[in-house]
A and B are shown apart, each in its own frame.
Chain A
Amino acid sequence: MEIYYVFKNNIKRSYHNTFQFILLLLLPAIILLCSNVVGQMSKPSIRLGILYEEKNPAYHQVMKSLNQSKGITFQKAKEESLHTDLILGTYQYIIDLREVHEIKNLKILSYASDSSIRKITNQIKRSVESGNKVQLSVNNKGDITESERICAYLFTVFIITATINACILIKDRKEGMLRRFGFAPTKIYSYITGNTVFNLVVAVCQIVIVYGVIILFHIPVYLNIIHFLIIMSAIIFFSISMATFVCSISKSDLSANVLSSCVALLFTLLGGGFIGFYKMPFILQKVGSISPVHWIINSVGAMEDSKDNLPLTSIFLLIGVSIVLYLGSIKKLSKNVQ
């Protein structure tokens, strides 16, 4: 019963800042849209630069092959900023045709590893000599798919929004509401559970909005609804218990927000949310296997591969850690009251 009272009180409080509350509800959907728009505008393609003179017959041969190719964009490279363009990523590889009149003497300039330069050189030479289109296969093992990337981003965003919601705990502790609860004939866990239920309801609304956006804008998440719900429930359980724990040990709003943002970013970085997990150095792979983002990415990958497979171990692990954090926050707050 007390849980319901705390929950109702929180809803009444959210009416005071309606604009901020609605912004919080829409935040994950907005971030999802922005990242999708940017991702679509810069479609993954290999950027080639070519150094040539017009009279060179080899140039026309190369252009004939490149014009037939898909997934490759090419431009004339500038000689003055050759190395800078390669290092800063304007071109991934530059075909050097300056002193070359036959295709077999073709040179490729790049700052990638020597073995990949050799591979690409051979592929281009073979395609151009036979007049076919150029198909460059860059090593893509270990890159994360779109669905996994989206789930990793949502994890980060949910931790941050859950912490903003759970800052009510800190505000109540400063204003003395927690002490009043301690004097009342109720247990402290009903107060925390009430706040957590409010957080949960807000998170469920956010997930419904996100799912609506995914369907409306055809965002490439290849999970059926049951798998999506399972993954999202694991994410929100973890983020809410993490937020409650962080707010129970922090002394101010600012430090709670900063701590949870840092932890969320660190988990995403180490778990392979930005770069593929298997592309990281070996030591960091060992360290990153404790990150929840790594478990989430593995689960999503397993769900995408076979539709019947439910990767239960990772999900149970996430829920288990959430329960531990939740109990920890109850213990810490009860100590605070006494």
Chain B
Amino acid sequence: MNGSYHMFTFDFKRRIKSSFTYGYHLIFPVIMILLLGLLLSGQFGERLSSFQYYALVMLPFCTTLAMITSAYAGKDEAYQKTAYRFLIAPIKEKDIVIAKILSCTISFGMCNILVLVISWIIFSIPMGSSVLEIILLLVSETFCVCAIGIYIGLGMKNFIILKNFLNIPIFICAIIGGSFYPIGTSNSVLEVVFHLSPLTWVNRSIFLCIYDNHSEILWITSFILLAIGGLFTFAGVRSFQKEEFLHGDLLRIQK
């Protein structure tokens, strides 16, 4: 208990001081919302402004980019060359993994909630009382994505190659889910393909909750995301060995 608490506070302070957190989860969403909202301001009419649409749709997309940020966070100790200290420290693997996942979730989740609240106020999105449910959905998505990212970062030696390939499916899922343009089709084959992307379900549940007052899909999606996150946490704890930290010496990147 002691070990995991110290590990958690240490990791949390490191996440807050890292520029990756602010760049990817505060500045990037705001820029994308403003840019896309301005570019497509003629798309919607008077009842819904493009800024409102993109504020609600960019947040889940930027949360999936946390997979890459948390993969880097997992490899932090390896790149800082503190591997030997961790090998001889009396701390269990379970504490390290859980502390990393929790610190990533809380720090990225706080950035997401900040962007959500700012856009709620500035663009006057009619959220009402459903703001708590949307916060729950975003936090569970952050947890799921961070668990997957830390599993990749801690478990794989050459995760840089995998990270370059991770970008492509994320972008494809975002385009299919309507994060860049409200996309729809009458072809039934394409409709099945569109429903394969998790971002389709997340975006749909957000709009169902706010505009149609139906929160069932949102609760189901949140539970599924939490379950997947729990699964990857369990897999990470079981498969992590402290010797993984030694492998960071070969791939020193210049930050």
- Bound pair (A, B): yes
A92 to B184, CA, bound (A): 9
Report whether A110 and B45 are in contact in the complex, using a CB–CB cutoff of 8 Å: yes
Cβ-based interface call for B211 (8 A): yes
- Contact partner of A117 (CB less than 8 A), chosen from B41, B45, B184, B211, is B45
Interface residues of B in 21-45 (CB under 8 A from A): 38-42, 44-45
B172 CB → nearest A CB, Å: 11
**B117 within 8 Å of A (CB atoms):** no
- Please name all residues of chain B whose beta carbon is closer than 8 Å to the beta carbon of A80 when the two chains form the complex: 208, 212, 214
Provide the B213-248 mask, 1 if CB < 8 A to any CB of A, else 0.
Answer: 010000000000000000000000000000000000
Given contacts A83-B207, A284-B38, contact A41 B189 (CB under 8 A): yes
B207 pairs with A41, CB closer than 8 A: no
Looking at the assembled complex, report how far the CB atom of A323 sits from the nearest CB atom of chain B, in whole angstroms: 32
Q: Does B1 contact A (CB under 8 A)?
A: no
**Cβ–Cβ < 8 Å partners of A45 in chain B:** 186
Nearest Cβ on chain B to A201's Cβ, whole angstroms:
28
Pairwise interchain contact B53-A87, C-beta atoms closer than 8 A: yes
- Is A84 a contact of B207 with CB atoms below 8 Å? yes
- Measured between beta carbons, the chain B residues less than 8 angstroms from A279 are 42
Query: In the complex, A92→B211 CA distance in Å?
Result: 16
CB <8 Å contact, B183 and A89: yes
Interface pair A88/B204, CB less than 8 Å apart: yes
Which chain B residue lies CB-closest to A117?
Answer: B45
Known: A84-B204, A284-B38, A284-B39. A47 touches B212 (CB 8 A): no
**Of the residues B39, B184, B207, B208, contact of A47 by C-beta under 8 Å:** B184
Question: Which single member of B40, B181, B211 contacts A84 (CB below 8 Å)?
Answer: B211
Contact of A111 among B41, B48, B187, B214 (CB under 8 A): B48
Query: In the complex the two chains form, is B45's CB within 8 Å of A83's CB?
Result: no
Of B46, B181, B184, B189, most A-chain CB atoms within 10 Å = B184
Q: Which residues of B contact A114 (CB under 8 A)?
A: 45-46
Q: Given that A45-B186, A73-B186 are contacting pairs, would A87 and B42 also be in contact in the complex, using a CB cutoff of 8 Å?
A: no
Chain B contact residues: helix, strand, loop or mixed: loop
Q: How far is the CA of A80 from the CA of B213 in the complex (A)?
A: 9
B39 touching A269 by the CB < 8 A rule?
Answer: yes
By the criterion CB–CB under 8 Å, are A83 and B186 in contact? no
Interface string of A83-116 (1 = CB under 8 A from B): 1100111111000000000000000001111101
Are A82 and B207 neighbours in the complex by a CB distance under 8 Å? no
Q: Which residues of B contact A284 (CB under 8 A)?
A: 38-39
**Beta-carbon contact of A88 and B182 below 8 Å:** yes
Q: Which of B161-212 contact A (CB under 8 A)?
A: 178, 181-187, 189-190, 203-204, 207-208, 211-212
Docked-complex contact A89 and B182, CB < 8 angstroms: yes
Tell whether B85 is near chain A: CB-to-CB under 8 Å.
no
Determine if B184 and A90 form an interchain contact, defined as CB atoms under 8 angstroms apart.
yes
B45 cross-chain contacts in A, Cβ below 8 A: 110-114, 116-117
Contacts of B190 in A (CB 8 A): 41-42
- Residues in B neighbouring A111, C-beta threshold 8 A: 44-45, 47-48
Q: Are A89 and B212 in contact (CB under 8 A)?
A: no
In the complex, what distance in Å separates the CA atom of A81 from the CA atom of B38? 27
Are A281 and B41 closer than 8 Å at their CB atoms? yes
**Does A200 sit within 8 A of B, measured CB to CB?**
no
Does A41 contact B182, Cβ atoms closer than 8 Å?
A: no
Contact A87 B40 (CB under 8 A): no
Task: Decide if A275 is an interface residue (CB 8 Å cutoff).
Answer: yes
Query: Which of A75, A87, A281 is close to B38, meaning CB atoms less than 8 Å apart?
Result: A281
Residue of A nearest to B207 (CB): A84
Give complex CA distance A75, B191 in Å: 14
Interface residues, chain A, with chain B CB atoms under 8 Å away: 41-42, 45, 47, 73, 75, 80-84, 87-92, 110-114, 116-117, 269, 274-275, 279-281, 284
- Interface set of B (CB-CB < 8 Å, partner A): 38-42, 44-48, 53, 178, 181-187, 189-190, 203-204, 207-208, 211-212, 214
Of the A-B pairs whose beta carbons lie under 8 Å apart in the complex, a sample of 29, sorted by A's number, is A41-B185, A41-B187, A42-B185, A42-B190, A75-B186, A80-B212, A80-B214, A81-B208, A84-B204, A84-B212, A87-B211, A88-B203, A89-B178, A89-B183, A92-B184, A110-B45, A111-B45, A111-B47, A111-B48, A112-B44, A113-B44, A113-B45, A116-B45, A117-B45, A274-B181, A275-B39, A279-B42, A281-B41, A281-B42
In the complex, given contacts A42-B190, A280-B42, what are 20 additional A-B residue pairs having Cβ atoms less than 8 angstroms apart? A41-B185, A42-B187, A75-B186, A80-B214, A82-B212, A83-B211, A87-B48, A88-B182, A88-B203, A110-B45, A111-B44, A111-B47, A113-B46, A114-B46, A117-B45, A279-B42, A280-B39, A281-B38, A281-B42, A284-B39
